[in-house]
Structure 1
Amino acid sequence: MVEFRNGEPQWRKDIVVWRQVSNEIRKRIKSGEYRPGHMLSQNGVSQEFGVAPNTVRKAFAHLREQGLIYTRVRLGSFVGPEPEDEE
């Protein structure tokens, strides 16, 4: 869990930052703060946590591997599960 002090994230030195971001997003999904279909903005997450976009991309990739989020080209990333394609 990422702890915030005075609006700034306090990063643990023993865990890489992308994993800490991933863990925090996972916690928010599991708690219901981020519900299925919630859009996760790479820029928004980058700004909230004060990290580089590449750090967020790594966190999102990890969350996708776990099936917690899915990404649609040109639309963005969303809290899963990924819906069935409608045809």
Structure 2
Amino acid sequence: MENFKEANITVELCGQLATILADQITIRIAENGSNIAKVRHEIAIKYPEMAVYMASPRVKACLDETIVLDSAAIMPNQILAFFPPVSGG
């Protein structure tokens, strides 16, 4: 059986997401990286109150300040943030 090493990443939650949980949370990913879809899944499992938001395509992922698709790769040293839809006038 192969041993997988893990690393922590800090995920920033913005807007309404921060009011539901916190400004930042910590998630474990594989030391050699993961992707945004897997991080969304891990957040939904670890924080069930976030599941509906993590499943929504309207909640955008930003990696190193660039909006990315869920297929985007993420490494432990990168900055990940999730942004809910913005409304207003």
Q: What TM-score comes out, normalization by structure 2 length?
A: 0.33
TM-score by length of 1: 0.33
Structure showing the higher helix proportion among its residues: 1
Q: Larger relative contact order (C-alpha < 8 A, sep ≥ 6)?
A: 2
Query: Which one has the bigger strand percentage?
Result: 2
